[in-house]
Amino acid sequence: MEISALQAFVEVAERASFSAAAEALYLTQPAVSKRVAQLESELGTRLFDRIGRRISLTGSGAALLPRARRLINDARELKRLVVDLSGEVGGRLVMGTSHHIGLHRLPAPLKRFTEQFPAVELDIRFMDSEAACRAVEVGDLELAIVTLPPTQPSMLKMQVIWDDPLAFMVGRDHPLAGRDTLSLTELLRYPAVLPGTTTYTRGILESAVQDVGIEIHVAMATNYLETLHMLVATGLGWSLLPATVLDGEVHALTVDGMQLSRELGAVTHRKRSLSNAAQRMIETCLTSA
């Protein structure tokens, strides 16, 4: 059983698409289909049901998926171990980060890292911080540079790299734009555009306002903070966003008693030894903080 066939199977299963899997693996779609077909032939069972354009796991496929992930991770660990024993910083580093951190925090550290460690093959996956933490927990990522969870999951290790102050903001034409200071009750009279309910940032806000007893009127929600900034700037509502996105298109508000912040940093698995590459990536981010 070849690791390449298992990788093709896992990618198809996770994306429910042969074409998307092919794109992720930098292969043609026929090549991915061939690898999956070879695996099905070797196992003597069908792994996917193909009904029209829809693809779903069979019972056998669902049973194989977690084991295939473990085998792929074990193979990566063996390869990493050989590289690390030599003391070299090389091999493949699979890490996740959010779009916001990728835009606002990582450019300088990534530039320095790639200059210092050109032998490292970076596989950076952009996703919500919450999804990245789950991916570290199940072994799909070695490292995540993300918004840290307010409460630490038992199997994850967290290291703060950046403090990230949050700011209440409105568009320049919003009725509150002329106010520098206001009460939380006054703010909550107006609709908001906020991150989704499952995000850590939304949780920070909801925890802060729960004692007021007033529901937040959410006009629109999205997990893309740059999109939220645009919605605020166009006047669709107030928001709570990282202070790093403040610019001339929005107006910062001071809300009495509300000084909120979040932490950004590295998330790794407690039971997984870090590769030389992952350790150097964390160190590079820390020196840039």
Q: Is the pLDDT of residue 82 over 80?
A: no
Q: Is the pLDDT of residue 283 over 70?
A: yes
Q: 180 burial class (0-12, 13-18, 19+ CB within 10 angstroms)?
A: exposed
Q: What are the domain boundaries of the chain?
A: 1-74, 164-262
Q: Model confidence over 193-225: pLDDT tens digits?
A: 999 999 999 999 999 998 778 889 999 999 999
Q: What is the mean pLDDT of the chain?
A: 91
Question: What residue type is 46 in one-letter code?
Answer: R
Task: Tell me what pLDDT residue 113 has.
Answer: 96
Question: How many other CB atoms sit within 10 Å of the CB of residue 103?
Answer: 15
Alpha helices (H) along the chain: 3-15, 18-25, 29-43, 59-85, 99-104, 107-116, 129-138, 184-187, 200-209, 225-233, 276-288
Q: Is the pLDDT of residue 173 over 90?
A: yes
Per CATH, is 164-262 categorized as 3.40.190.290?
A: yes
Q: What is the pTM of this model?
A: 0.72
Q: What percent of the chain stands above pLDDT 70? A: 98
Dihedral sign (CA 14, 17, 18, 19): negative
Task: Tell me what pLDDT residue 89 has.
Answer: 82
Alpha-carbon gap, residue 287 to 280, rounded angstroms: 10
CATH code for the structural domain at 1-74:
1.10.10.10
Task: Tell me what pLDDT residue 116 has.
Answer: 94
Q: Do the two domains 1-74 and 164-262 of this chain adopt the same fold?
A: no
pLDDT classification of 87: cutoffs 50, 70, 90: low
Q: Model confidence over 107-154: pLDDT tens digits?
A: 999 999 999 999 998 999 999 999 999 999 988 899 999 999 988 888
Tell me the DSSP string of 98-116.
-HHHHHHTSHHHHHHHHHH
